[in-house]
Amino acid sequence: MDVRAQVSMMFHLDKCIGCHTCSVACKNIWTDRQGTEYMWWNNVETKPGTGYPTKWEDQEKYKGGWEPKEQTIKLRATDKFRGLANIFHQPHLPTIDDYYEPWTYKYSDLFDAPAGDDQPTARPISLITGENMDINAGPNWDDDLSGSTVYANNDPNLENLSDGEKQALFEIERLVFFYLPRICNHCLNPACVASCPSGALYKRGEDGIVLLDQNVCRAWRFCVSACPYKKTYFNWKTGKSEKCILCFPRLETGQPPACFHSCVGRIRYLGVVLYDADKIEEYASAPKEDLVRLQREMILDPSDPEVIKQAEKNGVHFSVIESAKKSPVYKFVKEWGMALPLHPEYRTLPMLFYIPPLLPVLGHVENGVYNVDAEGYFGSLDKARVPMQYLANLFTAGNEEQVRTVLEKLLAVRMYKRSEQVDDIKPSLVEDMLKKTGLTPETCEEIYRLTSLPTFDERFVIPPMHREYAAELMAGDPYLFKAEAGVGGFKDRPDRGL
């Protein structure tokens, strides 16, 4: 057992209101420089929709992630030979058009225009060329465009849906959408790290954050192709790739990442989990339908004495183990089995988990009145507007049963609380539901509290980062560097670039 710590994340999609505050917070802190305008380390997508970059989930085109090969897995985009053969002209790179051409407006025209009969307008200007441009796309271009024949219809997750289900999604009375905020998943088996010919990407040992060394990066851009979530980006100004750093400078000072901190719906949870690194290859190579279950198995119980012993042997500080015991992510993912990884079939073992949205059931018109079924307000899941298969394509590699289990748990908690507070649901029905999902009234109460009433410190259980140990490990005595710039980091700006 090779026990390691990972700062892991959980997004509760039922609470997301799609306000993009997270994206703006991230942009203001990290990607407001020239060359990064088009990057959104954090972005929010409407589902069904094509997302950002357009149709990023279509790996037939983008070639991201891993695919099984014999007993193990290999990268879809590259290998040693193909990497070398295509190193100067990488064939799977998205163009700026597939992201979008970033723009601003010529605001000065509003003030400098000579007096005239017409209102002056601020024309859009490309942030790349500086010329006037027509805006054809944006990072959230398909926001709320459910039912659109261009965007929703081309969602790769509609695969395996019956024609009836597909058509239903585009009927005006049955339209449905939800939001999917995305950041780097800080995967356990990151394809970006595996693909880099320069070895610029690495997974930080103490907390599992995937980082990109700006001094080592040589702009081969294989990480851009290999990441199935398209969460590494190429900065055309510096000639280096960049990605979400999970705001590690904030984490190291005990603050949650900016997107977590600013989240209006409080949908985001962060905490450390312990996992068994010995199992990575075996579990990542498993059959598609087992991936979610095995990944959950890989996460270890921080209260298990054997796990604690192995963790301490591996140099995981006891304060981190203590923090793991309180981790909300551990509870949602492992203890309650309610959070699912996004697209586990890419086999990168993403460590960002989602609670799928419990979407409303279909209404019907009776005597001119729009009704939802009275007796099952939370209704039968089969009457939900979004087909189960769609959610399964997103979160469980097509395994409907696993999504259904999660949704039933969500439903059970709601019914339990409603019977308790409104008292209009038969107790027998609640009992049946609890029995079916394996939840107890106590866990229901706990899930309810952590979902609806969590405090700041309950949502973000940030482990002590212990940079002092890391610094000692890497650079020896930190006092040697006293009064110098930084500890072991780089002191100069990266050499290359424009």
| Region binding other proteins by CB under 8 A among candidate stretches 97-105, 196-204, 249-257, 332-340 | 97-105
76 binds other proteins (CB under 8 A): no
Query: Which CB atom, from 138 or from 494, has the smaller least distance to other proteins?
Result: 138
In the complex with other proteins, which residue's Cβ is closer, 232 or 396?
232
By C-beta, is 62 or 416 nearer to other proteins? 62
Q: For other proteins, what does the binding mask look like between residues 169 and 208, x meaning CB under 8 A?
A: ----------------------------------------
Is 97 a binding residue for other proteins by CB under 8 A? The answer is: yes
Residue 166 CB, nearest approach to other proteins (Å): 17
Which CB sits closer to other proteins, 98 or 458? 98
Burial readout 184-198 (b: 16 or more C-beta within 10 A, e: otherwise): bbbbbbbbbbbbbee
Q: Supply the minimum distance, in Å, between the C-beta of residue 214 and other proteins.
A: 25
Residues 462-481 that bind other proteins (CB under 8 A): none
CB of 404 to other proteins, least distance (A): 32
Binding to other proteins, residues 32-71 (CB under 8 A): 50, 53-55, 58, 61-63
Q: Which residue lies nearer to other proteins by CB, 142 or 206?
A: 142
Q: Which is nearer to other proteins, 56 or 178 (CB)?
A: 56
What are the beta bridge partners of residue 178? 47
Using CB under 8 A as the binding rule, whether residue 91 contacts other proteins is answered as yes
Q: What is the 3-state secondary structure (H, E, C) of the chain?
A: CCEEEEEEEEEEHHHCCCCCHHHHHHHHHHCCCCCCCCCCCCEEEEECCCCCCCCCCCHHHHCCCEEEECCEEEECCCCHHHHHHCCCCCCCCCCHHHHCCCEEECCHHHHHCCCCCCCCCCCEEECCCCCECCCCCCCCCCCCCCCCCCCHHHCHHHCCCCHHHHHHHCCHHHCCCEEEEECCCCCCCCHHHHHCCCCCEEECCCCCCEEECCCCCCCCCHHHHHCCCCCEEEECCCCEEEECCCCHHHHHCCCCCHHHHHCCCCCEEEEEEEEEHHHHHHHHCCCHHHHHHHHHHHEECCCCHHHHHHHHHCCCCHHHHHHHHCCHHHHHHHHCCCCEECCHHHCCCCCEEEECCCCCECCEEECCEEECCCCCCCCCHHHECCCHHHHHHHHCCCCHHHHHHHHHHHHHHHHHHHHHHCCCCCHHHHHHHHHHHCCCHHHHHHHHHHHHCCCHHHHEECCCCCHHHHHHHHHCCHHHHCCCCCCCCCCCCCCCCC
Residue whose CB is less far from other proteins, 12 or 63 = 63
**Binds other proteins (CB under 8 A): choice among 70, 71, 88, 95:** 95
Q: Which is nearer to other proteins, 76 or 182 (CB)?
A: 76
Tokens of 38: 């088009």
- Answer for the pair 184, 190: CB distance below 8 angstroms, yes or no: no
Stretch that binds other proteins, among 17-25, 91-99, 343-351, 466-474 (CB under 8 A): 91-99
By beta-carbon proximity to other proteins, the closer residue of 158 and 471 is 158
User: Residues 98, 213, 312, 322: which binds other proteins (CB under 8 A)?
Assistant: 98
- C-beta of 33: minimal distance to other proteins in Å? 24
Range in contact with other proteins (rule: CB under 8 A) among 89-97, 266-274, 396-404, 412-420: 89-97
Angle at 50 between CA 44 and CA 54, to 5 degrees: 95
Supply the minimum distance, in Å, between the C-beta of residue 311 and other proteins. Answer: 42
Query: Is there binding between residue 94 and other proteins (CB under 8 A)?
Result: yes
Query: What are the tokens at 477?
Result: 């005595």
Q: Give yes or no for residue 133 binding other proteins (CB under 8 A).
A: no
Helices 318-325 and 305-313 meet at what angle, rounded to 10? 140
Interface of this chain with other proteins, residues 140 to 169, rule: CB under 8 A: 150, 154
Looking at the Cβ atoms of 54 and 295, the one nearer to other proteins is: 54
CB of 126 to other proteins, least distance (A): 13
Please pick, from the candidates 29, 93, 133, 294, the single residue that binds other proteins as defined by CB under 8 A.
93
**Binding residues for other proteins, how many (CB under 8 A)?**
21
Under the criterion CB under 8 A, does residue 241 sit at the interface with other proteins?
Answer: no
Q: Binding to other proteins by residue 220, rule CB under 8 A?
A: no
Q: Which is nearer to other proteins, 154 or 314 (CB)?
A: 154
Q: Which residues bind other proteins (CB under 8 A)?
A: 50, 53-55, 58, 61-63, 91-95, 97-98, 100, 136-137, 150, 154, 225
